Structure 1
Amino acid sequence: MSRYEPATLEQVSDWWATAVTRIAPGEVEYRGIPVQELIGQTDLVTGMWLLVRGDRPTPGQAALLQAAIVAAFDHGPQAPSIAVARMAVTCGIGINNAMASAVNTLGDSHGGAGQQCVALLDEVVALTGTGVTAEAAALEVTDRWRQRSRYLPGFGHRFHPRDPRRDPLLGLVAEAVETGVVAGHHLSAALAVEARLDPVPMNIDGATAVIYAELGFEPELARGFFVLSRSVGILAHAWEERQSGRRNKGPIPPSLLPTFLAPAPLDPAAPGPGRHR
């Protein structure tokens, strides 16, 4: 069929073919399950798992996912995304616009470490699968990653000497390994990397990366779930700031002025419009 030939009804229907949701007059199904069978019977994280993965988690898997989601809700206005939400909502825009502004700051540097850490741990696990010890694999992979950046995603924190979310999250993963909910390969990999980086401990991104990886999620989905989690904190802060009544709130109090970087003095003898020395 030529690109410009008229499309058939079937081709139009197939254009957005999806296995996620089916709708028809009077009918809504998620992954083939009527929505009325889920309402009041399915919790949020189970529903998230169902839509993303297409099946239902076991209670143990759902508990791990919920722990990761709750742990990353918020980190206060020190987090750029939260600060952006609070500033944006004072500019007269809707709360959805404020939330979107904040979510759009979640990139590789702020919000992407979980995804990156899953990828790092996947490399360690793949190497141990060839017979290399976890310690040797951690050494090789971290050295390789450090050739690209001095920062290793998921380890160390600019604010916390030891992230208070690390221990309870990893404790839950260890319990899940003991009960057979997850295999524990990525937990072992993360602990081997942490030992390699001693005394730098794992942070929230590393601990949640262990959970997402142990649950079988691809690295990019780790970022997606973090965005969903942090959106709760973004909403809470945007709504709180809305109640303050402030208008056009900037990043620093109005009594403070940013440092002005004065240009170099002009050199009359230099060629060109600017003639700076």
Structure 2
Amino acid sequence: MASGNDSSVAEFILLGLTQQPELQLPLFFLFLGIYVVTVVGNLGLISLIGLNPHLHTPMYYFLCNLSFIDLCYSCVIMPRMLVSFVKQNIISYAECMAQLFFFAFFVIDECYILTSMAYDRYVAICKPLLYQATMSHQVCLMLMMGVYAMGFVGAVAHTACMLRLTFCDGNIINHYMCDIPPLLQLSCTSTYVNELVVFIVVGINVIGPSFIIFISYTLILSNILRIKSTEGRSKAFSTCSSHIIAVSLFFGASAFMYLKPSPPGTLEQEKVSTVFYTIVGPMMNPFIYSLRNKDVHVALSKTLERVLS
């Protein structure tokens, strides 16, 4: 018996990304490489921002938190995923619920940190003279507290609803992690409340931030188009393009996963969709935000010079 739940299931088996034997080893090395790049990339960006005082601005404060969130939820998901490529991946009921909690926590955090970054870009471009006052240290700290508070509330809601279910029709999760849709398929009690909570919580945490980001970038675009200098417009666009790419990748995949109707037999497609915002996104974000960023290039050069000298 699992503690805190009258389910007869004490452990689950995670099937992983694919059941084709010929793909297991190549995919193991592919995703191991992705995991290493994700950890190194995000830790590197966090360290770079921390070691360079000229990057201690609101924009990089949020970027540092984004890298921390990406790093954390990659570590929540990827190790278990890698295990499923080389052997049967058995996870206890308690571990499964813990993974669900932290996955939900960090994914919701990602929604709101991207929203905070959009607001930061709006203030920087549309109200540059008020930027220092509007995006003060206290404001940034309050925004981050709000980000983590929303993540905690959403994670508690999802996990508490999952704990009330009884699992007795099987223990094989057709996924590489303990996510909500595949777990609901295993329940032998009504999942109506869970589905309602998913719709409400995900709706709030995807549609709400998406709307704020859309409004922010509508105002930003309107402001950029009024800039007479071509160089000025180009510079303004370049400060936003990285964030737009990251937002499109994350919100597009998560909306497809949770807000569409889910007829039977769609879990294989959903697993692929989940890969984009749980694995590809955290790996790509450090590169998206640094490849075209001159401040990061300068900071990296100075840091390498200090290390090598």
TM-score range for the pair, normalised by the shorter chain length: under 0.3
Which has more helix, going by share of residues? 2
TM-score by length of 2: 0.25
Greater length-normalized contact order (CA 8 Å, ≥ 6 residues apart): 2
